[in-house]
């Protein structure tokens, strides 16, 4: 089975100084017996997304990956999203994104998650529309990033995480406009603020990676969601990302078993 564990799943353990990056690699490989990881840039400096490590340190991580025969199936980047209303901050975010693509290339990442950005507060809770300026800028950057991915062997795209990416309608609109084979979507199953009942299916043709959490792994339609993605051509990894409040080793073990059960039932 193609399973991976997102680094965010151990964020609380990391904050307690009970796990570093290399301990995470050991845990995934030898405690859970998996051969792939989802690395999160928040693991570098306890959630300080402005921190960029030296190449020499990143190279040590790459060596540790190779020693353990681990594949980095996704590099999830926070703090380097595309859109910000302030043009100067937008440029700083862009430069930071380029630094993270460099890191991803050293690590040999297969996919890179860079979010759309945007904070959309409204009286109703969320305003997930985009201005023409925002849409055009997001599409331009994803086209650029996808071309870089094509030249270096990885796919690029957002997760349904913040801003317009919480809408499958907007995600579909962006994907169709980018129209690049190295562009895709990291689907965190069943996490939408619009068209929630069919959001996963709307974006299914572009999904390059997935995340289960404790809620979605227990959902009654979890097997149906997996079948639907497979029917839409998905052949990637089933990622586990759940930052439990406590007992993270045990909670992660439970979640791995839950997802394995889902996949085994689908494969029967």
Query: Which CATH number fits the domain that encloses residue 152?
Result: 3.20.20.150
Closest CA to 139 of 178, 186, 98, 102: 178
Number of domains in the chain: 1
Q: How confident is the model at residue 56 (pLDDT cuts 50, 70, 90)?
A: very high
**Looking at residue 126, what is its pLDDT?**
55
CB 110 within 8 A of CB 74: yes
**Looking at residue 125, what is its pLDDT?**
52
Tell me the pLDDT of the chain averaged across its residues. 95
**Looking at residue 153, what is its pLDDT?**
98
**Looking at residue 119, what is its pLDDT?**
61
Q: How confident is the model at residue 182 (pLDDT cuts 50, 70, 90)?
A: very high
Q: What does the alpha-carbon distance between residue 247 and residue 250 come to, in Å, rounded to a whole number?
A: 5
Owning domain of residue 137: 3-267
* 77-120 confidence digits (pLDDT tens): 999 999 999 999 999 999 999 999 999 999 999 999 999 997 65
């Amino acid at each position: 089975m193609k399973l991976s564990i997102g680094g965010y799943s151990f964020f609380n353990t990391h904050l307690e100084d009970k796990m570093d990056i290399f301990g995470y690699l050991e845990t995934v490989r030898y405690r859970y017996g998996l051969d792939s990881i989802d690395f999160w840039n928040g693991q570098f400096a306890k959630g300080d997304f402005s921190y960029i490590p030296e190449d020499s340190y990143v190279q040590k991580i790459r060596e540790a990956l190779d020693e353990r025969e681990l594949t980095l199936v996704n590099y999830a980047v926070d703090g380097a999203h595309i859109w910000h209303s302030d043009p100067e901050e937008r440029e700083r975010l862009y430069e930071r994104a380029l630094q993270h693509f460099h890191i991803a290339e050293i690590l040999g990442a297969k996919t890179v998650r860079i979010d759309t950005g945007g904070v959309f507060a409204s009286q109703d809770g969320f305003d997930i529309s985009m201005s023409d300026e925002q849409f055009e800028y997001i599409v331009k950057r994803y086209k650029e990033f996808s071309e870089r991915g094509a030249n270096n062997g990885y796919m690029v795209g957002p997760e349904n995480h913040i801003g317009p990416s919480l809408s499958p309608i907007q995600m579909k609109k962006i994907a169709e406009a980018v129209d690049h084979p190295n562009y895709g979507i990291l689907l965190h199953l069943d996490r939408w603020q619009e068209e929630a009942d069919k959001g996963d299916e709307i974006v299914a043709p572009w999904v390059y990676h997935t995340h289960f959490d404790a809620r979605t792994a227990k959902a009654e339609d979890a097997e149906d969601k997996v079948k639907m993605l497979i029917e839409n051509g998905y052949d990637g990894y089933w990622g586990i990302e759940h930052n439990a409040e406590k007992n993270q080793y045990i909670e992660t073990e439970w979640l791995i078993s839950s997802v394995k059960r889902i996949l085994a039932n689908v494969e029967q």
